[in-house]
Amino acid sequence: MENETRRRRRPGRREGEGGRRLHSAGAAIVVSLVALLVSLLLNAPGLHKSAQIQPEGWKRDVALGVTGPLDTASSTLLLDQPRRALKAALGRSGDDVVDTAVAVPEPAPEPEAPVARPEPLTRPLHTARQPLRIWIGGDSLVVVPGESILRAVASRPSIVPAAPIDGRIATGLERPDVFNWFTHIRDLMRSQRPGAVVVMFGGNDDHGFMTGVAEGVTIGSFGSGSWEREYRRRVRGIMDTVTRNGAHLTWIGLPISRDGEQTRRYDTINAIVQSEAAKRPGRVHYLDTYFFFAGSDGGYAQYVTDASGRLVKMRADDGVHFERPAGDRIAQEVLRVLGERFRLRDGP
Amino acid sequence: VLFPTATFAIFFMIVLPASWALMRHGGLWRPFIIAASFVFYAGWDWRFCFLLAFSILWNQGFALAIHRTGAARSRKQLLVAALAGNLGLLGYFKYYGFFVTSTNNLFAQLGIDLPLDVRSIVLPVGISFFTFMAISYVVDVYRGDFEPTGLGKFAAYLSFFPHLVAGPIVRPGELIPQLETPRDPRYVDTSRAFFLIGTGLFMKVVIANYLAANIVDEVFGAPELHSSPEVLIGVYAYAVQIYADFFGYTNIAIGIALLLGFTFPQNFDAPYSATSITDFWRRWHMTLSRWLRDYLYIPLGGNRGSRIFTYRNLMLTMLIGGLWHGAGWTFVAWGAIHGSALVAERWWRARPGFVERPPTAWRRAWHRFVTFQVVCLAWIFFRAQSFSDAWDVITQLFTAWGEPSPLITGGVLAAIAVGIGSQYLPRRLPLALMARFSRLPIPAQAAVLSLALLVIHAMGPEGVAPFIYFQF
């Protein structure tokens, strides 16, 4: 009986360092749960966007199933207003907006009769006074080669970066909801007016899930006819957006990866890019990186012997991304391409 | 599973009540927390759960064998075998490629072509942390400082998810006794836990990510394209970024453990307010520095010999500490800079006739300034991918003054000011804030936390970059 009474008695207060009051585990659970639930409502627009831009699969479906009603409830109760005000104050009102518009230029009409052989392109001259403005962008794969390119051009007054490297993790051409490259590149071509553009896309596009597809259009699995048509349209759109603004485009092809299946999927993407680049000679150059990083047996190799005979780590531990020596190798090739396309005079 | 993600929040909201519900039943609680920790670890790669399980069985087996063996020689042999297993595992997963390429290239310079095979090996997340904790368990048992515990308790100690992937490095004597007795559900230090989680999230999600995206990555990516002031601020920003990232992670880890009823040791104590490198190492990654002291520096002989012998031990400890952070010569250089500075400080104080001058405010400020510059110099090597990259950063610090510096914005300077300024706040301030928070009614506490989560989520970037220390 005495034990029973003792068990029911409220525990005495106990204080921690600095006189703070200790609470029960129940209070810890209640505060944690309530705070999380309320913050879910307060952050609902951002969480709903995070759910939308997840990779396809059951996790995305569940996240959308949860955050969709939350977003609606938050909006109805005006609980999303503090977040919107905070975002506006930070100048980031667009953060929670999902933009899936694939804004690409209309393809050029096919000529009815064979046209005369096009005139050979001139090689514009760029000097320290009139430097070639270069812009580098794409998914996370472009970051390391991009840094190497910028390092290489630092000592060349005839080339200047138009903007910092625009490498965005987990993006590509399949998911404009994650990041809309079509709108971004269109705006960038107008605002920065680069003369040379270097891009790398496709590292996150090796699956069959696309957003921004026109209503009524169904996309099949990766590599299917409908998938290829839509992906080709997007590749073509990027190429035309760049070239119709007068810039030269170097498209870095996807490398061999540690996962053989993934490499095969990358081959499919590379083939599309390569064939579209071939239709735009002198304006788009496809840079094949496959054999830069293949081992002596032609397969994937993380370590490759470089030109000086040293064994160097070319690929990151994830089997896809590049290490600095690989970036330098790609940069060397990009500069060679630019040197062929432009007259770059660094001296007086 | 990263801490600042919805996935972890869901995971923790299941584990927290379940853990307290099962706490009184040790026989149920331990299997539950081990299973939860393995689920947490499997979030990266389920295959490495076998590695963690192997480490548990290997070290528990040797700890028991050492404890039961009477002969000193046999005990030593068992210890060497246990350490060989741990270091072999770490060496294979973390350093194999580094040693093979270094050896190949060394012999190639001598004109000898070695047929050493370089394999592509994936580094299991957190391996450096749980291996060090496992070593401390076996060594403590060998030294007689600690009696081996049961397999379940040891498994819970090594795999306990709050510390599993990036520390703090908790000693057996600190955690295993807590695992042996149920935590008291009446007295949980919730205000400290929420304060640590809140500040940790803010430092990681807002400060570290902002600095990385707005100056650090650009400056270290192509230093030649930036002015000297930009490079200088970029280096300071990296110092704040890595502190905010790791301090943030540790705070969250300690806070989560507190909510579950467990106390972890402090890992940071305002390191950028240090007045010497010796002082810095009493404040930065404190659980690693004491591990290095107790399991490396002292076994090497510590300061129990001539001065030269002590300097050698200091240098070796810091070089190995550098290599622990990453399989690369730049990490060794980072350790060498710290080791040299520690040796220089010891030598300076050991000079005949040296008298410690009374600390004045100016002298303290000057010492703090110089210490911070040495720490930042070392960070350049830590962040750079090669010596040539580090050299480019250092060169650019002196050769491009007077050029435009668009990356130095108010936001960047404010984030640096928050990162460094927070280390100079009076210690009573957080204590007072926590005390005041703890006296709020439960609904008010939940409201404050919700608002904090709103601000952190809104100010943070879309998506969260992995913690820097995961790669170590």
Give per-residue pLDDT as tens, B397-452: 998 887 788 889 999 999 999 999 999 999 889 999 999 999 999 999 999 999 99
Q: Are A240 and A246 in contact (CB under 8 A)?
A: no
Q: Are strands A303-305 and A311-313 parallel, antiparallel or unpaired?
A: antiparallel
Name which of A18, A161, A312 is nearest B225 (Cβ-Cβ).
A161
ipTM: 0.82
* pLDDT on residue B294: 93
Of A171-185, B252-266, B352-366, B415-429, the poorest mean pLDDT is in B352-366
One-letter amino acid of A242: V
- The model's pLDDT over A132-183, given as tens digits with 9 standing for 90+, comes to 999 999 999 999 999 999 999 988 899 999 988 898 888 999 999 888 999 9
Measured in whole angstroms, the distance separating CA B294 from the mean position of its chain's CA atoms is: 17
To which residue do tokens 């009474």 refer?
A: A5
Q: Given a cut of 70, is residue B336 above it in pLDDT? A: yes
Q: Residues A113, A116, A119, CA angle at the centre, nearest 5°?
A: 145
Q: Are A32 and B453 in contact (CB < 8 Å)?
A: no
Q: Are B205 and B323 in contact (CB under 8 A)?
A: no
Average the pLDDT over A203-207 and give the result: 92
* pLDDT on residue A114: 59
Q: Given a cut of 70, is residue A6 above it in pLDDT? A: no
* pLDDT on residue A1: 40
- The model's pLDDT over A303-322, given as tens digits with 9 standing for 90+, comes to 888 777 778 888 888 888 99
* pLDDT on residue B472: 54
Average the pLDDT over B228-236 and give the result: 95
* pLDDT on residue A294: 82
- The model's pLDDT over A289-303, given as tens digits with 9 standing for 90+, comes to 887 888 877 888 888
Q: Are A319 and B120 in contact (CB < 8 Å)?
A: yes
- The model's pLDDT over B381-392, given as tens digits with 9 standing for 90+, comes to 999 988 989 999
The SS3 of residue B197 is: helix
Query: Greater confidence, B324 or A291?
Result: B324
Average the pLDDT over B51-58 and give the result: 94
How many CB atoms within 10 Å of residue B405? Answer: 17
Q: Say what the pTM is.
A: 0.86
Q: Given a cut of 70, is residue B9 above it in pLDDT? A: yes
Of all residues in chain B, the one with the smallest CA distance to A88 is B458
Q: Given a cut of 70, is residue A4 above it in pLDDT? A: no
* pLDDT on residue B52: 93
- The model's pLDDT over B95-140, given as tens digits with 9 standing for 90+, comes to 887 888 888 778 777 777 776 667 767 778 888 899 999 999 999 9
- The model's pLDDT over A21-35, given as tens digits with 9 standing for 90+, comes to 888 999 999 999 999
Average the pLDDT over B170-194 and give the result: 91
Q: Given a cut of 70, is residue A213 above it in pLDDT? A: yes
- Measured CA to CA in angstroms, residue B421 lies from A173, B197, B206, B248 at distances of 43, 19, 16, 15
In angstroms, the CA A3 to CA B46 distance is 47
* pLDDT on residue B470: 53
Which pair of tokens denotes residue B87?
Answer: 């270091």
Q: Are A24 and B185 in contact (CB < 8 Å)?
A: yes
Q: Are A233 and A214 in contact (CB under 8 A)?
A: no
Q: Given a cut of 90, is residue B233 above it in pLDDT? A: yes
In angstroms, the CA B467 to CA B243 distance is 11
- Show residues of chain B in contact with A313, CB under 8 Å: 97, 101
* pLDDT on residue A120: 65
Which A positions 314-343 lie with beta carbon below 8 A of chain B? 315, 317-319, 323-324
In angstroms, the CA B329 to CA B339 distance is 15
In angstroms, the CA B217 to CA A192 distance is 21
Per-residue burial over A150-170, b if 16 or more Cβ lie within 10 Å, else e, is bbbbbebbbbbbbebbbbbeb
What's chain A's average pLDDT?
87
Average the pLDDT over B54-79 and give the result: 93
What's chain B's average pLDDT?
90
- Show residues of chain B in contact with A169, CB under 8 Å: 463, 465
SS3 sequence of B254-305: HHHHHHCCCCCCCCCCCHHHCCCHHHHHHHCCHHHHHHHHHHHHCCCCCCCC
Contacts of B374 (CB under 8 A, 6+ apart): B277, B337, B341
Distance from CA of A182 to the nearest CA of B (A): 19
In angstroms, the CA B359 to CA B215 distance is 36
- Show residues of chain B in contact with A22, CB under 8 Å: 186-190, 438
Q: Are A317 and B108 in contact (CB < 8 Å)?
A: no
One-letter amino acid of B74: S
Name which of B187, B225, B449 is nearest A31 (Cβ-Cβ).
B449
Q: Given a cut of 90, is residue B337 above it in pLDDT? A: yes
* pLDDT on residue A308: 77
Average the pLDDT over B170-196 and give the result: 91
- Measured CA to CA in angstroms, residue B271 lies from B20, B44, B204, B206, B357 at distances of 35, 31, 17, 20, 22
SS3 sequence of chain A: CHHHHHHHCCCCCCECHHHCECECHHHHHHHHHHHHHHHHHHCHHHHHHHHHCCCCCHHHHHHHHHHHHHHHHHHHCCCCHHHHHHHHHCCCHHHHCCCCCCCCCCCCCCCCCCCCCCCCCCCCEECCCCCEEEEEEECHHHHHHHHHHHHHHHCCCCEEECCCCEECCCCCCCCCCCCCHHHHHHHHHHHHCCCEEEEECCCCCCCCCCCCCCCCCCCCCCCCHHHHHHHHHHHHHHHHHHHCCCCEEEEECCCCCCCHHHHHHHHHHHHHHHHHHHCCCCCEEEECCHHHCECCCCCECCEEECCCCCEEECECCCCCCECHHHHHHHHHHHHHHHHHHCEECCCC
Q: Given a cut of 60, is residue B14 above it in pLDDT? A: yes
Name the percent of chain B lying above pLDDT 90: 65
Name the percent of chain A lying above pLDDT 90: 51
* pLDDT on residue A5: 45
- Show residues of chain B in contact with A16, CB under 8 Å: 189, 191-192, 438
In angstroms, the CA A170 to CA A53 distance is 10
Name which of A17, A32, A309 is nearest B259 (Cβ-Cβ).
A32
- The model's pLDDT over A245-281, given as tens digits with 9 standing for 90+, comes to 999 999 999 999 988 899 999 999 999 999 999 999 9
CA dihedral B136, B141, B145, B149 (to 10 degrees): 100
Average the pLDDT over B251-272 and give the result: 94
Q: Are B120 and A32 in contact (CB < 8 Å)?
A: no
Average the pLDDT over B214-221 and give the result: 91
Distance from CA of B16 to the nearest CA of A (A): 7
In angstroms, the CA B168 to CA B287 distance is 6
- The model's pLDDT over A112-130, given as tens digits with 9 standing for 90+, comes to 665 566 666 788 888 989 9
Q: Are B108 and A311 in contact (CB < 8 Å)?
A: yes
Q: Given a cut of 70, is residue A7 above it in pLDDT? A: no
Which of B67, B325, B338, B457 does the annotation list as catalytic? B325
Mutate to test the interface with A, among B45, B110, B114, B120 (most CBs of A within 10 A): B120
Which A positions 257-286 lie with beta carbon below 8 A of chain B? 258
Which A positions 81-140 lie with beta carbon below 8 A of chain B? 82-83, 86-87, 90, 95
Is B325 one of the annotated active-site residues of the chain? yes
Of A142-146, A189-193, B2-6, B396-400, the poorest mean pLDDT is in B2-6
Average the pLDDT over A47-73 and give the result: 88
Q: Are B189 and A16 in contact (CB under 8 A)?
A: yes
